[in-house]
């Protein structure tokens, strides 16, 4: 799986002409924050559903293509999911952990005093690492793997979608403090069962981090 992530990132970077990269700024970043995740579906089982919170964090590589535009590739560990309530078992939380690879095109400007602001759009692909159910009424256990709770459950282990958001970077000497919010709109049907309704992810994300220029 790690190999697929590396290949995907390398493919994107290969599309950027080397002469263009050499002339522009390159920055590395680390970031962490939280997801407020849910799903969009007409599936009757999840009629009484809600959102769930989860950790997200990782690193980024940003390459300036021009004075006001940047391509950014990220690798994040992200917990998504949702909650639902069913008669007889109460509330259950679905927790799905992913390796998330967003590829973003950012437009940015400098309002003054070294502050950078920007908005971005892009796409992402996610590779499932773990799926678990948590709730008092699921077999007497605090947490069960999805395949243990229901061996017949058919789901997609890969998700993809669109990303849009904003970012503000505040100067901290030679580095920057980043604050950003984004919305992740899932396009992939997470259920692969023939008789089930489509299930797609919807996630709000808030993160903070550090940005370090390695080439100006």
Place of tokens 């300036």: 64
- What is the DSSP secondary-structure string of 27-77? EEEEEEEEEEEEEEE--GGGSSEE-EEEEEEEEEEEEEEETTEEEEEEEEE
What pLDDT, on the 0 to 100 scale, is given for residue 121?
97
Render the burial of 27-56: b for 16+ CB within 10 Å, e for the rest: bebebebebebbbebeeeebeebeebebeb
Total domains in the fold of the chain: 1
Rounded Cα distance, 65 and 14, in Å: 13
Per-residue pLDDT of the chain (216 residues; tens, 9 = 90+): 545 544 454 444 444 444 344 447 899 999 999 999 999 998 888 888 999 999 999 999 999 887 778 999 999 999 999 998 877 778 888 999 999 999 999 998 888 888 999 999 999 999 999 999 888 666 655 778 887 877 666 788 999 999 999 999 999 988 999 999 999 999 999 988 777 788 999 999 999 999 999 876
Rounded (5°) CA angle 94-100-104: 135
Backbone CA torsion sign across 128, 208, 21, 17: positive
Half-sphere exposure (Cβ direction) of 137: Cα atoms closer than 13 Å: 10
What pLDDT, on the 0 to 100 scale, is given for residue 23?
45
Which residues span the domain enclosing 107? 2-215
Rounded Cα distance, 158 and 186, in Å: 11
CATH of the domain at 197: 2.40.160.20
What pLDDT, on the 0 to 100 scale, is given for residue 174?
87
Evaluate whether 25 touches 66 at the Cβ level (below 8 Å).
Answer: no
What pLDDT, on the 0 to 100 scale, is given for residue 21?
43
């Amino acid at each position: 799986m790690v190999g697929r992530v590396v290949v995907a990132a390398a493919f994107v970077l290969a599309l950027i002409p080397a002469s263009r990269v050499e002339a522009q700024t390159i920055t590395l970043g680390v970031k962490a924050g939280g997801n407020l995740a849910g799903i969009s579906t007409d599936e009757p089982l999840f009629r009484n559903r809600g959102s769930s919170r989860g950790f997200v964090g990782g690193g980024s590589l940003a390459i300036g293509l021009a004075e006001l535009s940047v391509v950014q590739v990220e690798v994040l560990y992200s917990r998504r999911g949702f909650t639902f309530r069913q008669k007889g078992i109460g509330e259950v939380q679905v927790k799905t952990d992913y390796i998330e690879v967003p590829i973003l095109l950012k437009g940015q400007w400098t309002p003054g005093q070294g502050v950078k602001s920007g908005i971005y759009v892009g796409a992402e692909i996610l590779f499932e690492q773990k799926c678990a159910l948590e709730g008092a009424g699921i077999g007497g256990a605090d947490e069960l793997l999805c395949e243990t709770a229901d061996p017949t459950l058919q789901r997609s282990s890969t998700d993809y979608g669109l990303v849009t958001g904003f970012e503000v970077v505040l100067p901290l000497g030679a580095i920057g403090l980043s604050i950003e919010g984004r919305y992740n709109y899932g396009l992939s049907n997470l259920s692969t069962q023939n008789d089930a309704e489509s299930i797609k992810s919807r996630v709000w994300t808030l993160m903070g981090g550090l940005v370090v220029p390695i080439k100006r």
